[in-house]
Structure 1
């Protein structure tokens, strides 16, 4: 048994001892021993500094009648005591380690409770599962001790001071800042208080003090091995005392006919192993004469074999996300329902792995990962990012006086969570640089638990990591690493060792605002190179705190909205789900790209190819539904009969043998598409039968090119008109189509910058503004009727002030019906264009506000952009203008529908409105505010509908990328200023009444 690095003595530097009076760390488990939850309403007093905190408030007879109440668990800032603050890197207090300012907000808690009288004479333990950032605790006036390590448990022996059957007074003093805060510079809100459960545990004499489940799996034989160690408490105290021996205990697993003494290794000839795809758990118990502890056993072996990370002998591809604990009303005080909601959403979106950024989660979340099947990198509550990023001297990671704190944090995580089969790696922490203390953590963890590899990203020599982990490496670097030709380290021995390790992107594809782009290209690299074993998208949820403005309008707040002295703005709004856990377009895109089954349809070759990307499961769990749609309308449908495809294998079949109807669609049916879906054939723990896991589409038939006939001689100059279309005599802009008033269209290159556009790394938005892309001026050079009298030709020059470059735009209008016109647009760059991408290239027009119903044929139903379009499937789609908007917490470009063939914008009651037909396609955006309104807003509730619907018909848009923290758009998605031609037909729809 390796002693835990635990002590209760004072550090040789004041303020650095991580704990005092705290019991040695142990596993988190339930049992049949009595327990009493102390969650609920506590008396609470908030003071701006320790000096202003009430003296003696821990005494039982202290009069707290004038105090308020605060729910435990919760954060006091979210209850009106002080204010939340957000920083990503910078410490919000002076760097004066280990000291903190005198202005140290302090919360005093008091609770009167009555333990059952039958607890008399029994040992008892008081457990705190999470307190931010440091606390001292008293029971009935007796000080029990203190602790730091906000996201880590602390237990106190209260046997000698607890008074069963009568009132007891528990007092806790929590300080916002402590020496521990220097180790907790994570990218999140600074929120304080008792934010996890507080529990009183009766501990029976002869009970089970701690357990360590060792359950391995031999992939070659199918056998499992099980040993459950039951440890005494004092033999791990690290103080040289031999202590009491472990109690006599037995391990019972009825399903496997196991009944053996604890500590004995038993081999089971055949077991079903645990994996994220098949999370098999066996229910057992650890039993003594005094206590029964249920255990859920997952047989699995994690190893690095020939430089590849494996689970049960199979290479693992991590389709992961980084998860902070967060709720928009409760902060990090998440409930069991919040945790379940997260796990179910992850499973339903094909996520198979979680990195617990950047601290151990509530232990119940790990229970859910065991149960539903998610691989976990469990990360220690450690980050000194301010030292690393700002390059300040004195990083605690290499200072020996902090060694005890580092080891204490690692031990409390490993001991608490060691029995979870879902945890396949320990992580030392995040962005804490390099140093001897991290090496000490690594060495301790390797000795204590050799069954799991250890992860750490901050030291790229990988001295203290069993995997090579990086953040935000671009696609080219990932490919080089996959080929093992990355830039070498200076030390050839370290370089060789690192090249032999598997590669994991612990953070990539920053999901801030609209994005992330480039996911598909990353995933292809993960699948192509054995060494590249996937990664974890940053991150799961937008950390927007629900609040209201002075008018009572609700919105989600981010950094700076609470008047913080220092803040990092909306960088905390960077999740795949919105604060209320609504999936963002980014999550929908991720689900498509990381599908565990790939369905490739090749109509030209007449084949269907199914590739099973599962590690252990065949495709027998899926039903295969297909539908043929002609011009968006279902023409035939059914269910495929496919033999199960083994994991890691692919099968190609002739389409006509599977679906004879592919040859039966008559000519003239328009654009014909075949869609094949893999859905759950039966209910799973995480989704009902029929849940879609994967899909593929292929176009069986393209429509014959058809251009509407031009009405000869329809163009006029006085006033400018083409058939039923009227134009402004000065600008040449279309102002009326039949009886429909409208404004425009005119050339537009501006979009409200996305977070990725605005990132310093990309610098697109700043450069666009410097060059005036957001304030282009339009000059009409001429309005003429073509020589044949068929077309009205409008020549314009579009350019920003103070610049010599421009876009020359020629509009050619022809009549193709009484209330229909065809527009051909030619755009040519003119002058010395800067080496910058265009935000977009399109036409903007305004139509009456009552035309609020949109229907289109093309990819959908959600928004899509050049590098974010895999989740959009071709078909008929419809939504209101309001529903087309993606409510990003920080307003930005959104709602674009790509490659639309035709669309209508109509009055929902009459059907009157406008039809747009592409030649062949266009991008569609429609909203009730202008791009300038969207650009100016800083929160979604600041957007107010105008008297028009503003429509943009795009030739193209610039890609999205992930530059808010990572690489920008790939070169093929950059929109350059170049000659372009574009055509659409605009048609007035009469409907059933006035439109």
Structure 2
């Protein structure tokens, strides 16, 4: 038999392409060959910011259909919030009706328990045929249903109630020919009274953008990834996703339906490179598709393909016309097509921001990376469209600072949320010549040109482990807000439909960071309401009595001197029962309130065992020569150099804590946002200022009583002003070191990245236990996801594996920290006096990090595997560090309130004790 070659061709990489091969199948073996062209006309429409991976990445299948076949099923499941009733409108397109006399088409609606709650049967006589066909037994026709199905459970992300619609086709002989199940949800999403509303309630999207990407399989994303992503969403209070920037794998929408995630479904369209040139200079005359007729049908077809495939999913609440493709009349054609075929869902398109004359093609106002103040000023008016940030909080590397400034805008009705850019780092596992693997980014595969690490923007790492940024997202996105005090908690339930009755609220009291009491409560706060709930927090005196001298377990040195305690009242919200996405007891959000409480007659250094618990009669010996001065007793020794600018030995029982004297630091390893906004250029003087500071004066003298030492080292920074810095060590006869580092301020200079000391330690001191905000790293503009408490970390754990090594591991508002080896030997650092910039005249927290690498090592490396073998640990004690930023990564600075003004005096004030 002669070979017969038939070619079929389609474009659009992310929606199905179907070909009917019935007419060319022959007896015997047939060959199906699929070719994928790397470049086509469609390449102009698929200029998304992602890895350019080519090939077939979704399933290819050959399907056989029965003679009578349901070719399409379009379902509108409307919900009337005023009556609680659901309305079904169903259109079924059926092939093969020619000669199907007596066939019936049954439609049945089943609830979650499988019970039929509504049903209706149609016959061939009910088939509507195309206008040019007169016989009802034509090859194809449509069958429609319209019915009020009565009371239904509505679908929402908070309560994703699903029904199953079953369409069954039976031939004239009564034989079942085909059965089509379709899961649906009754809900109404619409713009009403100028706001986007779901089932009559104003919605706020707490969303992320999500590229389909896997570190090992590229653009082919296994279902295990999808399920893990959805569960992560639910665990971190993420209620929405934008399918940036193309329709996703069909299974993703089914999961969003099932678990409850709102979806902005986006057309596979981005032409970013056509309308900008380097430097983001606009070139609108070159824009594609613009108003060019040659692109019109291709763009409309992409929207048509997306809608036809995804129409029935209740999770899809908005259609998006694409991403970053400027404006033009082609988008009007796409917009008109959407509304002609879906009268319910709104249309989104951010690109018209660049061409306001086409503003009518988006039903919502959408911006990328607008600053919080700009949003508040421009888009919150009563006559404005509902507003969303389709991309914001650019989470590249150590980022997501200032997220709370955006979520605070939810107080404005017109602000209806945003979508963080983005969910998962896009990096590929690369096997190196030595057999090891690493996560690689642009350029690592000899690909030129490229954007290097610019796809590493996720709140989870490429291996889908959470980054430290995720804690901030979880807390800022929480629907329930908890504000406790010493007597109760104020609960604000921002859910739209569910009360808090099905959750457990655990109340705790922490004394000096350690939990002393807890109890579970059930609070029933209806959706949209705020209520004050009483909590039976015990009196602090009762907790001190319980703790006794054991309060020292919290502080590490007994009760606070003079009977003063730091008491934290905490309430958290937890799952009372297991769900598909988290076990019972999983915490969703929390609130804390901390106060300093004085207790008469309780606590003193003697009573609580503050210090090293040694015989007070043990007398230290002070010794000095021309080069050094020291103090020692039977176990400990401190040596202060008269020539090297600081402490050169600090040891107990021969265990040394000093390799080189602690060095001044006014620098941090640049985060991606620093590189993007030119912080290194603007703050270049601070890179060198501390590192190359020189000693201009030294004084090391015994104390007046002859039992201690006082050392003062005058430095000048290696900046243009030669700014003076004073480092002082006061050592008492118990070998406790009061260390202060003072910066007087320098007018006119750029803000400081950080100020304090960096201390190189022997590698065995790799344990960090601290009382501060934790457990993950925190920064001045990223504190909301952290709790005040006592935490234990390792240097390795605190090194977050950002694609490009950068500043990491910082812990803010630390009261004390212990840096030890695995046996608990090491050093304790406790907060001392004021650190400057208007702080109260009392013990002031400091910032601390303990890492396997120095700041300079992190600054030099371009991949984590380029960092040297671990031979030391590096302790940083900082009076302050600037925030990390996050508005964008190509120019946005850290917000002013999270920077360190150069003219602000700073003081690191801590006490050091050996353990």
TM-score normalised over the length of structure 1: 0.79
Structure 2 residue corresponding to 1:614, chosen from 473, 478, 495: 495
Structure 1 residue corresponding to 2:763, chosen from 849, 863, 875: 849
Counterpart residue number, 1:308: 195
SS of the aligned residue for 1:565 comes to coil
Q: Deviations over 1:898-952 (max 9, x none)?
A: 11111111120x3221111112321111112211111010011111234321110
Counterpart residue number, 1:814: 730
Change (3 A) 1:243 1:749: farther
Counterpart residue number, 1:579: 462
| Residues in 2 aligned to 1:336 and 1:177: alpha-carbon distance in whole angstroms | 29
| Residues in 2 aligned to 1:654 and 1:442: alpha-carbon distance in whole angstroms | 52
- Report if aligned partners of 1:388, 1:431 keep a CA contact under 8 Å in 2: no
| Residues in 2 aligned to 1:408 and 1:706: alpha-carbon distance in whole angstroms | 77
SS of the aligned residue for 1:666 comes to helix
Structure 1 residue corresponding to 2:578, chosen from 683, 689, 709: 683
| Residues in 2 aligned to 1:246 and 1:513: alpha-carbon distance in whole angstroms | 64
Q: Does 1:538 align with 2:421?
A: yes
Change (3 A) 1:451 1:248: farther
Q: Does 1:288 align with 2:165?
A: no
Change (3 A) 1:973 1:190: same
Counterpart residue number, 1:81: none
| Residues in 2 aligned to 1:352 and 1:961: alpha-carbon distance in whole angstroms | 24
| Residues in 2 aligned to 1:244 and 1:145: alpha-carbon distance in whole angstroms | 30
Q: Does 1:744 align with 2:661?
A: yes
SS of the aligned residue for 1:189 comes to coil
Structure 2 residue corresponding to 1:757, chosen from 666, 674, 677: 674
Gaps of 5+ in 2: 123-142, 171-176, 546-558, 632-636, 833-842
| Residues in 1 aligned to 2:82 and 2:732: alpha-carbon distance in whole angstroms | 72
Q: Deviations over 1:591-628 (max 9, x none)?
A: 0111111111133xx33111101111110120111222
Change (3 A) 1:250 1:985: same
| Residues in 2 aligned to 1:300 and 1:894: alpha-carbon distance in whole angstroms | 44
Counterpart residue number, 1:916: 829
State which drifts further: 786-795 or 186-195: 786-795
Structure 1 residue corresponding to 2:529, chosen from 619, 635, 649: 649
| Residues in 1 aligned to 2:82 and 2:340: alpha-carbon distance in whole angstroms | 26
Counterpart residue number, 1:253: 109
- Report if aligned partners of 1:725, 1:820 keep a CA contact under 8 Å in 2: no
Q: 1:213 Cα shift? A: 0.6
Q: 1:693 Cα shift? A: 0.9
Q: 1:706 Cα shift? A: 8.8
Structure 1 residues 2-21: aligned runs within 5 Å: none
Structure 2 residue corresponding to 1:502, chosen from 382, 386, 394: 386
| Residues in 1 aligned to 2:871 and 2:732: alpha-carbon distance in whole angstroms | 29
Structure 2 residue corresponding to 1:519, chosen from 399, 403, 428: 403
> Would you say how many aligned residue pairs link Structure 1 and Structure 2?
819
Counterpart residue number, 1:929: 853
Change (3 A) 1:958 1:715: farther
SS of the aligned residue for 1:437 comes to helix
| Residues in 2 aligned to 1:246 and 1:229: alpha-carbon distance in whole angstroms | 20
SS of the aligned residue for 2:381 comes to coil
| Residues in 2 aligned to 1:243 and 1:483: alpha-carbon distance in whole angstroms | 60
Q: Deviations over 1:638-678 (max 9, x none)?
A: 21242x101111111344xx334566323747433222221
Structure 1 residues 102-181: aligned runs within 5 Å: 141-163=4-26, 166-181=28-43
- Report if aligned partners of 1:893, 1:934 keep a CA contact under 8 Å in 2: yes
Q: 1:959 Cα shift? A: 0.9
Structure 2 residue corresponding to 1:826, chosen from 739, 742, 751: 742
Structure 1 residues 548-947: aligned runs within 5 Å: 548-603=431-486, 606-642=487-523, 644-655=524-535, 658-660=536-538, 664-666=542-544, 668=559, 670-702=565-597, 718-721=626-629, 723=631, 724-739=637-652, 740-742=656-658, 743-759=660-676, 762-769=677-684, 772-773=687-688, 776-785=691-700, 789=704, 792-800=710-718, 803-830=719-746, 833-834=748-749, 836-908=750-822, 910-919=823-832, 920=843, 921-947=845-871
Q: 1:703 Cα shift? A: 7.1
- Report if aligned partners of 1:196, 1:333 keep a CA contact under 8 Å in 2: yes
Counterpart residue number, 2:131: none
- Report if aligned partners of 1:275, 1:300 keep a CA contact under 8 Å in 2: yes
Q: Deviations over 1:563-599 (max 9, x none)?
A: 2221111111111110110011111210011111111
Counterpart residue number, 1:323: 210
Counterpart residue number, 1:94: none
- Report if aligned partners of 2:109, 2:166 keep a CA contact under 8 Å in 1: yes
State which drifts further: 383-392 or 934-943: 383-392
| Residues in 2 aligned to 1:798 and 1:208: alpha-carbon distance in whole angstroms | 81
Q: Deviations over 1:826-874 (max 9, x none)?
A: 21235x642x221111111111111122211111110000001111111
Q: 1:888 Cα shift? A: 0.8
| Residues in 1 aligned to 2:470 and 2:799: alpha-carbon distance in whole angstroms | 16
Counterpart residue number, 1:238: none
Q: 1:815 Cα shift? A: 1.4
| Residues in 2 aligned to 1:145 and 1:534: alpha-carbon distance in whole angstroms | 43
Q: 1:702 Cα shift? A: 4.8
Structure 1 residue corresponding to 2:265, chosen from 378, 382, 387: 378
Kindly report structure 1 stretches of 4+ aligned residues shifted beyond 6 Å.
242-247, 703-715
- Report if aligned partners of 2:67, 2:95 keep a CA contact under 8 Å in 1: no
State which drifts further: 889-898 or 166-175: 166-175
Counterpart residue number, 1:420: 313
Counterpart residue number, 1:394: 286
Q: 1:233 Cα shift? A: 6.6
| Residues in 2 aligned to 1:443 and 1:954: alpha-carbon distance in whole angstroms | 58
SS of the aligned residue for 1:932 comes to helix
Q: Does 1:184 align with 2:55?
A: no
Superposition CA RMSD, Å: 2.7
Q: 1:483 Cα shift? A: 3.2
Change (3 A) 1:324 1:233: farther
| Residues in 2 aligned to 1:448 and 1:233: alpha-carbon distance in whole angstroms | 21
- Report if aligned partners of 1:232, 1:244 keep a CA contact under 8 Å in 2: no
SS of the aligned residue for 2:366 comes to strand
Change (3 A) 1:771 1:592: closer
Counterpart residue number, 1:477: 374
